[in-house]
Amino acid sequence: MPGVFDRLQKKIESKQADGGITALDLADLPAPLRKIMRLMLREVQIDRARLGEAIQAMPAEEQMTGAELDGALETLTTEFWLTRLGEGSKAIYKVNLRRKSGSTLASGIWSSLDAKLKDEPKPD
Over residues 105-123, the pLDDT tens digits come to 556 666 777 777 777 666 6
- Nearest CA among 16, 42, 35, 19 for reference residue 101: 19
pLDDT, tens only, 11-21 = 666 555 555 56
In whole angstroms, give the CA distance from residue 107 to residue 98. Answer: 23
- Nearest CA among 101, 97, 36, 26 for reference residue 71: 36
Domains defined along the chain, listed by start: 2-119 (1.10.10.10)
**Neighbouring residues of 64: CB distance < 8 A, sequence distance ≥ 6:** 32, 55, 72
Across 30-44, average pLDDT: 86
In whole angstroms, give the CA distance from residue 87 to residue 59. Answer: 29
Predicted TM-score (pTM) of the model is: 0.61
